[in-house]
């Protein structure tokens, strides 16, 4: 089997950020307006009054303090409560492609490669802004990559499943170098009028370059990671859903079709699935959990990540053992674990192991055992 590495990553972060305080203020303004407008119906028992949100709840229940978004003003406008993306002409670059170009350009620079060196582009994300043509094909052309390109969606696990697809293409010899890009515009799929989830998501884009170790070795990279093992799992669940799509385009309340979840059930059911998966990926390489320096986990909920790490490591993790980015980025779906890996890996010494792990809707989960093979020791 070929030795395959992640040779570089890239990150695009939108310039707009929304604090919990700002989000809660606008939500509570919306609630006040709604309850005033519907006063009579509420008093007659025909409608339920809406309850306000709270910063304290959000931080305690999730660990999220702020989120980056592509368009802030309309999300915070109590009359709108949704981002307003100016429609783009077919001749203009799509939003997802634009984010992809930014993240991919940084990854290519970090990998000391140019776009022509890439012969497969995978756009892996939990939502795409259109059905076709594939965003990946647009991105391939915008960057100037060769080969072929396609989109794929495994919700929050899109990035790890995309990396596995890249790994397989390299092992099979169908591709030499693969760019996996995760443009997540979660604000477009979030119902900001829903108290249970209005605080959960943010927008971002990550990019990863995957190639053979021999190819990466030929360049003077400071840091790259060998993919030692992969484990993927899926198990059908209705507990995280987004029903928005072309079969319900005439819906009266399209916002009601957007993201919804049974958060408690997800919390309880996904944790054991992830703990088993990480144990399996580590043991399949004849390693044990004390050999693992860092867990770059999906970023949905800080309590969930701490519990997963505690079950695996026997104690609450240090920030190096399980880095958290959701405090500033919120849940960015498939990009979350990649942001954690992108920002928090300098402490790793050559030879040390870490696990990058995604989990979420489907259910789906993906775990990759990575070994640092070159770079400045931490
Ligand atoms: N403010 C104040 N109170 C609130 C609020 C709020 N905003 N929301 C709920 N409450 C109240 C509830 O009404 C409830 O009150 P009561 O006890 O009186 O009934 C109380 O607070 C507790 O509510 P919950 O039980 O819902 O609260 P939890 O402690 O379970 O926390 C979480 C909710 C944070 C959602 C938590 O359950 C969680 O994070 N679970 C894990 C979820 C998870 O990991 N999901 C995976 C995410 S899916 C994904 O990552 C990608 C999906 C695809 C991307 C889609 C793009 C949009």
Q: What's the 240 CA to ligand 1 centre distance in angstroms?
A: 11
Domain ranges of the chain: 224-374
275-294 burial, b at 16+ Cβ within 10 Å, e below that, comes to bebbbebbeeeebebeebbb
C-alpha pair distances (Å), 248 with each of 61, 252, 258, 377? 33, 9, 12, 53
β-sheet bridge partners, residue 117: none
Q: Residue 251 has what pLDDT?
A: 85
Q: Which ligand 1 atom is at minimum distance from the Cα of 258?
A: 57
Q: Which ligand 1 atom is at minimum distance from the Cα of 300?
A: 44
Q: What's the 123 CA to ligand 1 centre distance in angstroms?
A: 28
* Sheet with 148-152, edge to edge strand ranges: 148-152, 120-124, 177-185, 203-212, 4-12, 224-234, 364-374, 353-360, 292-297
For every residue of 173-218, DSSP letters joined together read TS-SEEEEEEEEEGGGG--TT-TTTTTSB-EEEEEEEEEEHHHHHT
Q: Residue 2 has what pLDDT?
A: 65
- 304 vs 270: CA distance, rounded Å: 9
pLDDT tens-digit series, residues 209-233: 999 999 999 998 988 999 999 999 9
Q: Which ligand 1 atom is at minimum distance from the Cα of 201?
A: 57
Ranges under pLDDT 70 in the chain: 1-2, 375-378
Global pTM exceeds 0.85: yes
Which residue lies with its CA nearest to atom 11 of ligand 1? 196
pLDDT tens-digit series, residues 321-352: 999 999 999 999 999 999 999 999 999 999 99
Q: What's the 200 CA to ligand 1 centre distance in angstroms?
A: 8
Catalytic residues: 156
Which residue lies with its CA nearest to atom 9 of ligand 1? 196
pLDDT tens-digit series, residues 252-265: 888 888 999 999 99
* Residue to mutate, 61, 199, 242, 340, ligand 1, most ligand atoms under 8 Å from C-beta: 61
The β-bridge relationship of strands 203-212 and 364-374 is unpaired
* Residue to mutate, 263, 299, 357, ligand 1, most ligand atoms under 8 Å from C-beta: 263
Q: What's the 49 CA to ligand 1 centre distance in angstroms?
A: 19
Closest CA to 33 of 12, 16, 15, 50: 50
CATH number of 224-374: 3.40.47.10
Q: What's the 55 CA to ligand 1 centre distance in angstroms?
A: 13
Q: What's the 197 CA to ligand 1 centre distance in angstroms?
A: 6
Pocket of ligand 1 (CB under 6 A): 53-54, 57-58, 61-62, 126-127, 155-156, 186, 189-190, 195-196, 199, 201, 240, 242, 259, 261, 263-264, 266-267, 300-301, 304, 331, 333, 360-361
Q: Which H or E run contains 271?
A: helix 263-283
Instruction: For residue 30, count CB atoms less than 10 angstroms from its CB and return exposed for 0-12, middle for 13-18, buried for 19 or more.
Output: buried
Which residue lies with its CA nearest to atom 13 of ligand 1? 196
């Amino acid at each position: 089997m070929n030795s395959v590495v992640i040779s570089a990553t890239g990150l695009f972060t939108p310039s707009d950020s929304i604090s919990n305080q700002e989000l809660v203020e606008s939500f509570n303004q919306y609630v006040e307006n709604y309850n005033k407008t519907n006063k009579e119906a509420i008093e007659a028992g025909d409608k339920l009054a809406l309850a306000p949100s709270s910063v304290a709840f959000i931080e305690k229940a999730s660990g999220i303090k702020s989120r980056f978004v592509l368009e802030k003003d309309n999300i915070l406008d109590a009359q709108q409560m949704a981002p307003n993306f100016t429609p783009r002409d077919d001749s203009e670059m799509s939003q997802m492609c634009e984010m992809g170009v930014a993240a991919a350009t940084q990854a290519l620079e970090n990998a000391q490669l140019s776009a022509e060196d890439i012969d497969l582009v995978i756009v892996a994300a939990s939502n795409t802004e259109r059905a076709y043509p594939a965003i990946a094909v647009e991105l391939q052309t915008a960057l100037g990559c060769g080969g072929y390109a396609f989109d794929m969606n495994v919700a929050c696990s899109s990035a790890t499943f995309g990396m596995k697809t890249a790994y397989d293409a390299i092992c099979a010899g169908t591709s030499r170098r693969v760019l996996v890009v995760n443009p997540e515009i979660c604000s477009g799929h979030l119902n900001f009028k829903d108290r249970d989830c209005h605080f959960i998501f943010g927008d971002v884009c990550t990019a990863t370059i995957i190639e053979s170790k021999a190819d990466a070795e030929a360049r003077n990279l400071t840091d790259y990671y060998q993919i030692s093992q992969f484990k993927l799992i899926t198990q059908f669940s209705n507990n995280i859903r987004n029903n928005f799509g072309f079969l319900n385009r005439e819906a009266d309340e399209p916002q009601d079709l957007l993201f919804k979840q049974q958060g408690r059930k997800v919390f309880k059911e996904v944790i054991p699935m992830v703990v088993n998966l990480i144990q399996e990926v580590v043991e399949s390489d004849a390693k044990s959990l004390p050999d693992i320096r860092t867990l770059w986990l999906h970023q949905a909920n800080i309590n969930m990540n701490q519990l997963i790490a505690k079950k695996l490591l026997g104690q609450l993790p240090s920030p190096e053992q399980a880095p958290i980015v959701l405090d500033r980025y919120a849940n960015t779906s498939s990009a979350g674990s990649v942001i954690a890996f992108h920002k928090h890996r300098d402490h790793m010494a050559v030879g040390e192991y870490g696990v990058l792990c995604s989990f979420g809707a489907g259910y789906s989960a993906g775990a990759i055992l990575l070994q640092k093979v070159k770079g400045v020791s931490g």
